[in-house]
Structure 1
């Protein structure tokens, strides 16, 4: 069990640093496959592990001046509102429905990464409309975080680039910073509802933190379009595998 948690954390942590996501979109299916967690327990454990991973990842990007602190703070306001709602949905929705929502999110993001090029541009001035948009993004990010056990980076990073004009590296660093309060806000109600083991989350989180440094290093070396396409391909593979396992389980 401990080995499965450590390997899951290492894989998720590397991808977290590399792609600017929490790593949950990979850790959740790995926890289901290797640690034999159900969707609900896997999502809650992944979200707890994202707390230390996102802290270290954000600080690493910040050391290279690749974090927009104001944008992250505004998004965090919405995320703190959305995360407890997502955690509640995780507790009350049927496991199968949560799983298919997770699969759908992975497919949509995989298609976007594989077939839509980099649309980032110069930063836009901060105004009332932009602030409202960032808070709305945070709410969506928080709901997805609490319900699916992801940090929300797969939602935030592309929106930061296409809608708010952040460069790929800046979008990744800002996404990781915004995830910190998001993951905390989602983990607290999960802990109170007794659906997450902080011990399991800590084991996954320690491995993820150690591996995240390598992911960040690779992110600064590879072209943004290459890393995006690699991530898109990985998400598609994970989505197909998760869907297959869900259908197979239903038949059995």
Structure 2
């Protein structure tokens, strides 16, 4: 239980800080630290915990007025459709291979974030008829990936929102939590229907995550200037991806 709460705190802190780190960390923490034997149970449980922790982080970012609600809702609506299809397909793939593919995808995203870390985005950007098709397209694609890999998808949503609208990183982090919550709940419901959610562990994770999210959101506000937040985001992705590649390769 203590390891579950500690892991939840790390996930919540990361969600509040970079929007997507919690999604990246939840599955490997459950498998490699807490000791959940089934990768699919870890995926289903983490999806529920991440969704709840993302909702908590969203409230805190909303108080800081960093959330672009229209963009988040449009992105989430398209992504829910993709998440349902992706999670259905993901349940039929070997769990360790799923984690290996997940890690490879993380490396690609981390490299793209580092490459564009000096781009500060457009302050005050909103979703309009002009960029709505791109927001819908990125939302659907991100939802499919997040459902397939069993994650909230924030590490894909943040760069997706920035690519579709050119919004600033701090706004993408806050706005991403709308979609992270929606994607996580969709994926968790699909896995729960198949009995692949550990409810007690999820509850422990959520309690720790609410506390961690409070501190993560505060630090994100301090790092939002310059490219520090993007650099933190990318480094987190690289570290976890390399570790997951090593562990999942050994298990296959």
TM norm structure 2 = 0.91
Q: Give the secondary structure class of the aligned counterpart of 2:81.
A: helix
The residue that corresponds to 1:225 in the other structure is 227
TM norm structure 1 = 0.91
**Cα offset for 1:172?**
0.9
Q: Are 1:44 and 1:190, in contact at CA under 8 Å, matched by a contact in 2?
A: yes
The residue that corresponds to 2:248 in the other structure is 246
**Cα offset for 1:136?**
1.9
**Structure 1 runs of 4+ with >3 Å offset:** none
CA distance in 1, matches of 2:211, 2:53: 9
Q: Give the secondary structure class of the aligned counterpart of 2:65.
A: coil
Cα 1:36–1:161 shift into 2, 3 Å: same
**1:40 correspondence with 2:62:** no
Cα 1:180–1:41 shift into 2, 3 Å: same
CA distance in 1, matches of 2:216, 2:182: 22
- Give per-residue Cα distances to partners, 1:197-246, cap 9 Å, x unaligned: 22221211111111101000000112351122122222212111111112
CA distance in 1, matches of 2:147, 2:28: 16
The residue that corresponds to 1:90 in the other structure is 90
The residue that corresponds to 1:196 in the other structure is 197
Aligned pairs for 1:200-211 (under 5 A) are 200-211=201-212
Q: Are 1:22 and 1:176, in contact at CA under 8 Å, matched by a contact in 2?
A: no
Q: Give the secondary structure class of the aligned counterpart of 1:121.
A: coil
Superposed CA RMSD in Å reads: 1.8
Query: Which segment drifts farther, 137-146 or 202-211?
Result: 137-146
The residue that corresponds to 1:108 in the other structure is 108
CA distance in 1, matches of 2:63, 2:241: 34
The residue that corresponds to 2:155 in the other structure is 154
Q: How many residues align?
A: 248
Q: Which runs of 5 or more structure 2 residues have no equivalent in the other structure? A: none
CA distance in 1, matches of 2:81, 2:50: 18
**Cα offset for 1:175?**
0.4
**Cα offset for 1:67?**
0.9
The residue that corresponds to 2:61 in the other structure is 61
Cα 1:224–1:52 shift into 2, 3 Å: farther
Q: Are 2:139 and 2:160, in contact at CA under 8 Å, matched by a contact in 1?
A: no
Q: Give the secondary structure class of the aligned counterpart of 1:92.
A: coil
